Every structure is written in C-alpha cells, then in structure tokens.
C-alpha cells in the first residue's frame, strides 16, 4: 500500500507537512466583513516589518486542517495513552478534575494586572496552597513563583547565598552527590558557586565519613535528593544534616522525589533548610516536553527574610501581595507565577486529604518494589532491594550479548511502552531507571515486566532484532546526535521533511 492509500484510509502512519496539503485559494475560515474603517497597514506598521507573501504558504480547507492536527496529536505518546515509567520524572496519571479546576474562568481568564482587591480568590488559593506545602514539607514558608523545579533549586541557592552574605560569610563551594540530577550542579553554577561532587558509597548513599572530610568553612551548601536518584532513602539524613549545620553549611533538599515520602515523613523534620517542590511531578500536572511546571520553594524559619517577592499576606481578612521585604532576593518570575499548576496542585491535595496523600507514597513504593522483584532475575539492580518509588537496573546481563540499554529502550516501544529513563544516574553502567508511579495497576506492571522479560530472551536469541528496534513505528532508529545538534525547526520552501532538497 502506498502512503497515499494509508492516508486515505485514515491510518496515521504518515502525515505530510501542512505545507504539502491544500490548494491555492482554499480556506478553512471566512471572517465576517470588517465593520471598522480599514486603515492601510503601512500607516500603522513600519514597512520593513510587513511580510511579503510567503511562497508556498498552506491554504487548506477546515477538514484538512482538523485532520492534519488530529493525526499529529495521535502520534503523541502520553500518560493517557500508555504506561510511561520514566524514572525521576514521575509521569503519573493526572486526574482530569484538576484540568477543570484550572480552566475555571475565574482563574484562567484573570488578568495578571488586575487590582489585588479583585484577585482575592486566586490569592486565597495561593495562601492555602502555601500552607498545605508547609504542612507537607515541614517548612516555615513557601515561595510559589519559581517556574520549574530547576528554578526552585536556583531560588533556594540564591537565598542561601543571601543568608551567608548577610553574615559577611564568603563561602563558595556546594557539595553534591555524584548521583545528583544535572540541574543541581547547573543551579549551583548559575548562582556563582563551585559545584563539587562526592562519591556515593557501596549502598548508593552519601558516605558520611567522606562528607565529614569535605565539609569546611568554605562550604555554603549541600544539595541532596531524598530519596535519592537511585531510588534509595538517605538513611543517615539526620546525621548528615547535623554535620552540615555544625560546619555552618545549609542543606537544600531537591524535592523532585517527594511522591515517595509525601504524607509519611517531612524534609523539614529531617533538618533541611530549603526544598523545591516539583508540583507537576508530585501533585499531578500533565508535564513533559519542557512544560508546564512550577518549582515552589520552601524555607526554614532562618531563611524566611530572603524569600523572593511578592509573598501573599493577609491583613484583616484582606489578601495582598507584599513587595516590601528588605532582605528579599528579589523577583524570580513575572506576575503570580504558573498559576495553572498551582490550581491543579491545590485541587489534587485537597481532593486526596492527608490520608490520601500518604497513600500516594505508599502505593508509589509498593509498585516500584513489586516491579523490581519481578525484574531483578533478568535485569540486576545495582543496589539491591528494597527501593523507594523507583529503581535503577544495570546492563551487566545484556552486555555479554552485545545488547545495550538503548536497544532495550527502543525495543520497549514495539511492545507499546514508553522507555524508562536511560543512562542516568551516570554512576550506574547502562542505567535503566524505572519509576512505575502510584497510579498504575498490577496488570500494567505485569505486562511491562513480561515485555522486559521477552526482550531479555530476544537479547540472547536474536540480538539483531534489538539493534534495529523499534520496528513498529513510523520512523525507526533515528540519528539522535543529528536530531539534537542539527534540528530542522522551520519549514523552508522546497525543503523536504528529511532535510534534503526536493
């Protein structure tokens, strides 16, 4: 069957660019006649900014338009279509009621410049969300503005720097475990600090003996993820935080893995000074492809003066944004922040309540341990059991057959699963990092385990199948380097989708 046939039958295996559809003069929409005097564009717009006709610009009918974008949307892989066990990213199911809440006109149509007296509803939601996050994390206050987890890390580092500077202290180093997420050293560097990694011990945890030696009067902060990116709870966390504080070092908790402990224990009680939340992970906002998200950042009492502005305050029942905070690090985000993510997080937290929130963590941990014990015979975990909400397998049983972690990940696509995170953390050879999340059923976990077992069989019997995978997608193995280094991001007349001139 030709491509054309496929298209006519409605199969979405191929879809041309919209530039290759349509015919001259065809329209999807006819605007009603203009009822205000037409002004010549040249009078309003500088001539050099007026675009000439574009050669080959698409002219399509409404049905062509609708089919084009509907077909493209069907190529999309998401949590609503399949299991998505992307380690560290917490791709869990997002209840649709949160979308309805975020779409309520009072929130979605609210203008960011509206008078605060007319924005009492959203300010109330922000204040209450802040209180929920304080209660969940054990911190004193939470800044809601940061636009992503990574920006929350940076906000925390800026506050820590302001705290030290306020004491006339010129500390410069930040210590991170070698398993840490790439955003940790990046935030450290953006803040003007020097990132320094410490090796994980045999357990995959922070080695307190090594840490003790590295701490000193020059260390501004320690940045830890708990549970860490190997899916392991830092058992010595109380001791670690005590050692750091004794050295005058503050400790940031990368809270991206909060869904493993939420409602069970609190980073504030563990002694952390700051934490960033990733509400799009823990509190359910559909995310991926770079957005949308937020990075609310909690602080202990000591750091409250440094919070970014504005904060939400209440006087005599009236809510307002406070900009007058003498020690603030300033603004980190325009207007109110990513309000849609806040509304979803608030709706999710209230819908679950404290009991439900606790069950999130319990189910996340049980699901991960169930899957790990099903897989460990064929895919050895680097650090044994039990794990928290995710686990990391290595490639030691694949390598002898010349099969790589990438081959396994690509083959999983043929079995209908989104591949897990691969080659991270860097300290595990050929890492395959699986986070099943709390929202999956046992049947889904079983079918995923079966797929990975079948792939392990294939690796022994017919590794070539894996090298060539995926077989069932529209395009097979892509040149990932070229895709990353030389992406073709815009259509140019005469250039075919593959990048070659027609």
Ligand X SMILES: *Cc1c(COP(=O)(O)O)cnc(C)c1O
Instruction: Return the number of the residue (205 or 469) whose C-beta is nearest ligand X.
Output: 205
Binding segment for ligand X (CB under 6 A), chosen from 25-33, 148-156, 306-314, 378-386, is 148-156
The residue (of 150 and 205) whose beta carbon lies closer to ligand X is 150
Pick between residue 229 and residue 404 the one whose CB is nearest to ligand X.
229
Cα 445 off chain centre by: 22
How far is residue 33's CA from residue 347's CA, in Å, rounded to a whole number?
44
Asked if 98 interacts with ligand X (CB under 6 A), we say no
Nearer to ligand X, 22 or 255 (CB): 255
Nearest-approach distance from CB 359 to ligand X, in angstroms: 22
Residue number closest to ligand X, CB atom = 149
- H/E segment holding residue 346: helix 339-375
String marking each residue 181-210 x if it binds ligand X according to CB under 6 A: x-x---------------------------
Comparing CB distances to ligand X, the nearer of 176 and 319 is 176
Least Cβ distance, residue 391 to ligand X (angstroms): 14
The residue from 15, 130, 207, 254 that contacts ligand X (CB under 6 A) is 254
Nearer to ligand X, 225 or 284 (CB): 225
Stretch near ligand X under the rule CB under 6 A, chosen from 114-122, 143-151, 160-168, 370-378: 143-151
Contacts of 488 (CB under 8 A, 6+ apart): 495, 499
Instruction: Please give the residues from 261 up to 320 whose contact with ligand X meets the rule CB under 6 A.
Output: 278, 293, 295
- For residue 158, the minimal CB distance to ligand X (Å) is 16
DSSP H or E stretch at residue 458: helix 442-461
Least distance in angstroms from the C-beta of 400 to ligand X: 31
The residue among 229 and 249 lying less far from ligand X, judged by its C-beta, is: 229
Residue 226 is a binding residue for ligand X (CB under 6 A): no
Which phi and psi (to 5°) does residue 220 adopt?
A: -75, -45
How many residues make contact with ligand X (CB under 6 A)?
14
Supply the minimum distance, in Å, between the C-beta of residue 407 and ligand X: 25
Q: Are 501 and 495 in contact (CB under 8 A)?
A: yes
Choose between 88 and 249: whose C-beta lies nearer to ligand X: 88
Q: How far apart are CA 209 and CA 211, in angstroms?
A: 5
Query: Of the ranges 56-64, 144-152, 318-326, 383-391, which one interacts with ligand X (CB under 6 A)?
Result: 144-152
**Spatial contact of 159 and 252, defined as CB atoms under 8 Å apart:** no
* b/e 431-457 (16+ beta carbons within 10 angstroms → b): bbbbbbbbbbeeebbeebbebbeebbe
Nearer to ligand X, 150 or 319 (CB): 150
Letters for 395-434 (x = contact with ligand X by CB under 6 A, - = none) are: ----------------------------------------
| Other beta carbons less than 10 A from residue 410's beta carbon | 23
Name which of 89 and 260 has its Cβ closer to ligand X: 89
Interface with ligand X (CB under 6 A), residue from 94, 179, 200, 225: 225
Question: Minimum distance between the CB of residue 91 and ligand X, rounded to whole angstroms?
Answer: 11
Region from 147-155, 157-165, 167-175, 437-445 binding ligand X, contact rule CB under 6 A: 147-155
The residue ranges of DSSP E strands in 114-218, in sequence order, are: 141-143, 173-177, 194-198
Nearer to ligand X, 22 or 204 (CB): 204
Q: Does 364 bind ligand X (CB under 6 A)?
A: no
Residues with Cβ within 8 Å of residue 294, at least 6 apart in sequence: 144, 146, 147, 148, 152, 277, 278, 279, 280, 285, 337, 338, 341, 342, 345
Residue 153 to residues 51, 148, 211, Cα–Cα distance (Å): 42, 9, 21
Q: Which helix (H) or strand (E) holds 313?
A: strand 311-315
State the Rg of the chain over Cα. Answer: 26
Position 150 contacts ligand X (CB under 6 A): yes
* DSSP symbol at 306: G
Alpha helix segments (H runs only) across 31-119: 41-44, 62-75, 96-103, 105-108
CA atoms within 13 A on the CB side of 391: 26
The only residue of 58, 68, 84, 88 in contact with ligand X, by rule CB under 6 A: 88
Q: Which is nearer to ligand X, 297 or 405 (CB)?
A: 297
- List, as own/partner pairs, every contact residues 209-217 make where C-beta atoms lie below 8 angstroms and the sequence separation is at least 24, other chains included: 211/175, 211/240, 211/243, 211/244, 212/243, 214/175, 215/175, 215/243, 215/244, 215/247, 215/249, 216/247, 217/171, 217/247, 217/248
Exposure on the CB side of residue 351, measured as CA atoms within 13 A:
15
Restricting to residues 438-467, name those near ligand X by CB under 6 A: none
**227 sits near ligand X (criterion: CB under 6 A):** no
Contacts of 352 (CB under 8 A, 6+ apart): 359, 360
**65, 142, 256, 459: which one contacts ligand X (CB under 6 A)?**
256
CB of 109 to ligand X, least distance (A): 26
Secondary structure letter of residue 49 according to DSSP: G
Instruction: List residues near ligand X by CB under 6 A.
Output: 88-89, 148-150, 181, 183, 225, 229, 254, 256, 278, 293, 295
């Amino acid at each position: 069957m030709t491509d054309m046939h496929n298209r006519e039958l409605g199969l979405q295996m191929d879809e041309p660019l919209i530039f290759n559809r349509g015919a001259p003069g065809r329209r999807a929409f006819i605007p009603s006649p203009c009822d205000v005097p037409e002004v010549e564009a040249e009078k309003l717009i500088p001539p050099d900014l007026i675009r000439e006709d574009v050669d080959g610009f698409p002219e399509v009918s409404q049905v062509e338009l609708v089919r084009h974008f509907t077909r493209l949307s069907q190529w999309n892989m998401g949590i609503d279509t399949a299991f998505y066990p992307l380690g560290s990213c917490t791709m869990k199911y997002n209840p649709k009621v949160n979308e309805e809440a975020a779409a309520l006109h009072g929130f979605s149509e609210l203008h960011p410049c509206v008078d605060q007296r007319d924005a009492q509803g959203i300010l109330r939601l922000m204040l209450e969300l802040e209180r929920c996050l304080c209660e969940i994390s054990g911190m004193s206050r939470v800044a809601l503005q940061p636009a992503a987890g990574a920006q929350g890390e940076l906000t925390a580092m800026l506050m820590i720097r302001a705290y030290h500077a306020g004491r006339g202290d010129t500390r410069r180093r930040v210590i991170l475990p070698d398993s840490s997420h790439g955003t940790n050293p990046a935030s450290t560097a953006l803040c003007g600090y020097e990132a320094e990694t410490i090796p994980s011990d045999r357990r995959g945890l922070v080695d307190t003996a090594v840490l003790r030696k590295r701490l000193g009067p020059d260390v501004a902060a320690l940045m830890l993820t708990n549970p860490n990116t190997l899916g392991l709870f830092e058992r010595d966390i109380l001791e670690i935080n005590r050692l750091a504080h004794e050295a005058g070092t503050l400790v940031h908790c990368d809270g991206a893995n909060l869904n493993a402990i939420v409602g069970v224990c609190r980073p504030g009680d563990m002694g952390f000074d700051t934490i960033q939340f990733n509400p799009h992970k823990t509190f359910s906002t559909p995310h991926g492809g770079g957005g949308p998200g937020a990075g609310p950042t909690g602080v202990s009492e000591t750091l409250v003066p440094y919070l970014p502005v504005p904060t939400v305050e209440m006087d005599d029942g009236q809510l307002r944004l406070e900009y007058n905070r003498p020690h603030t690090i300033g603004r980190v985000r325009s207007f109110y922040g990513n309000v849609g993510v806040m509304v979803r997080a608030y709706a999710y937290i209230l819908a679950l309540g404290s009991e439900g929130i606790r069950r999130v963590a319990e189910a996340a941990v049980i699901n991960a341990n169930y899957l790990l014990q099903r897989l460990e015979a064929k895919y050895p975990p680097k650090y044994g059991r039990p794990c928290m909400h995710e686990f990391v397998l290595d490639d030691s049983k694949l390598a002898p057959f010349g099969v790589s972690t990438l081959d396994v990940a690509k083959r999983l696509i043929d079995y209908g699963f989104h591949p897990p995170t691969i080659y991270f953390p860097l300290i595990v050879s050929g890492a395959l990092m699986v986070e099943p999340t709390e929202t999956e059923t046992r049947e889904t976990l079983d079918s995923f385990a079966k797929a990975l077992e079948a792939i392990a069989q294939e690796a022994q019997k017919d590794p070539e199948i894996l090298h060539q995978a995926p077989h069932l997608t529209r395009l097979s193995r892509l040149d990932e380097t070229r895709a990353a280094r030389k992406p073709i991001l815009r259509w140019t007349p005469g250039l075919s989708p593959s990048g070659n001139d027609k």
